[in-house]
Chains A and B, each alone.
Chain A
Amino acid sequence: MYGGGYIYDPENKNQAPIAEDPEKLAEFEAKIDNGEKIEPSDWMPYEYRRQLIRMIEQHAHSEIIGALPEGTWITRAPGFKRKMALIAKVQDEIGHGQLLYAAAETLGKPREQMLNDLLSGKSKYSNVFNYPAKTWADVAVIGFLIDAGAIINQLANSKGSYAPYGRALKRICAEESFHLKQGYEAFVYLATGTSTQRAMLQDAVNRWWPPIMHFFGPSDKISVHTEKLIRWQVKMDTNDNMRNDFLEQYVPKIWELDITLPDPNLRKNPETGRWEYTEPDWDEFFRVISGNGPCNKERLDVRRWVEESGRWVRQALFKPNEIYKVPLA
């Protein structure tokens, strides 16, 4: 999991644009147009660095927070195989968080600062994790559909211009395909099971559909600064295009199991080849991401508890004379 298409960026509105050296900027943009990758020690525009830090940091936080709703189901997972798979998946997510923090660090923001910003609420994580995983079927839906969404987003981003992020994402995507497959198997198992199992799955799908539609971020009509980020290959596709790719690949897989989706307008337009749907409730999206979702408080409280409870270990092993160095790549 779990990079959504949305980059939370509240400070951008009032900030004056930074005047960049036009010659260096042209050189930088020519490099990107040429398909070359940007390494940490290369010159890059301020805005490119800032947006990348924001995006990679949010992605990292999403991996760490995303492990919480699933982690709570390890003890209750039905059967040994599911338990082992869920433990492996949760460990992968934390590992992905660490890879992504390292990629963001190469841009100059220390990991300690990123964690402080997560815990104070200054930086965000993917909005889907502000919703509760009520039953085992929720875990199947998350493992199948949220991970599927994340793969679409991450495969696109792995071809982006910033080399350390691309390298981390390639490693991550390989593991995500295991997450998707085990989630799909759990999903199919319930969908082809008893009527109680099917009802439990249908209920979970109904509850998760709005957050899943939100996952790729606001509609292109209201999404800001997409154009420049696409030009610099920070974002590799628009939110609506990625949402469409997701619907194209996964709605048929849900419908063929006679599981319904709670949107009467959802259909593929045979003329345009694109999917049509009821516009997701973006007011709800912004309300939840700004801290008022059902689980925001619990997620951050748990993360704070972990930080505080483990702090004595970090302090015991702390060597004040060691020099911190930004990771190389």
Chain B
Amino acid sequence: MSSLDPRINRLDLVKTAQAENIQPHQHWETYEVFVQAKRGGHHTHAGSLHAADHDMALIFAKEQFARRGQCHNIWVVKTSNIFALNTEDADMFAENNEKKYRNTGGFKVSDKITQYKRSHKHTQPDETD
């Protein structure tokens, strides 16, 4: 076989017969990557990668998730160190929107004030007196 690329022709490609024998975990552990786009913002999950240790994970994360555009900081965490809820249990949050007492919308005063002003109008001191 002759390639159009002279560099490929210089490789001894015939000897390679055992490549498709990558053993489990030869590609190391997985890390989750969190990127802070600018100072003052949150670190946001950007994706995952394989690395042999955290130093390599940070280098790969920089190459993979911060090649262009703004980036201020990166965190990497071993996937095995992240504990997550199961997405199938999401119904535990179903009543969140019904808890009005946890939100500003649960506390209304304008009706009371209007009513108060109306019923007490005659007792207000008249400044023109």
Contacts and interface: CB of A to CB of B under 8 A. Distances in A.
A315 interface: yes
Contacts of A318: 25-26, 28, 52
Interface string B93-115: 00000000000000000000000
A112 B8 contact: no
Contact of B49 (A92, A102, A120): A102
Nearest to A110: B24
Contacts of B28: 314, 317-319, 322, 324
Contacts of A98: 49, 64
Nearest to A91: B67
A85 interface: no
Interface residues of B, number: 44
Interface string B6-20: 011001010011111
Contact of B67 (A42, A43, A92): A92
A168 interface: yes
Contacts of A167: 47
Contacts of A113: 24
Nearest to B84: A328
A50 to B, nearest CB: 20
A91 B66 CA distance: 12
Given A72-B5, A119-B20, A298-B1, A42 B25 contact: no
A275 to B, nearest CB: 32
B124 interface: no
A99 B25 CA distance: 18
Contacts of A323: 29, 80
Contacts of A119: 19-20
A83 B53 CA distance: 33
A56 interface: no
B7 A304 contact: no
A116 interface: yes
A115 interface: yes
A185 interface: no
B72 interface: no
B27 A112 contact: yes
B21 interface: yes
B16 A301 contact: yes
B24 A305 contact: no
Nearest to A76: B5
A167 B18 CA distance: 35
B6 to A, nearest CB: 9
B87 interface: yes
A134 B84 CA distance: 50
A329 interface: yes
A207 interface: no
Interface of B: 1, 3-5, 7-8, 11, 13, 16-30, 32, 45, 47-50, 52-53, 56, 63-64, 67-68, 78-80, 82, 84, 86-88
22 contacts: A41-B86, A72-B3, A72-B5, A72-B7, A75-B7, A91-B67, A99-B64, A102-B49, A113-B24, A301-B16, A305-B16, A308-B18, A308-B19, A311-B26, A314-B28, A318-B26, A318-B52, A324-B28, A325-B30, A327-B32, A329-B32, A329-B45
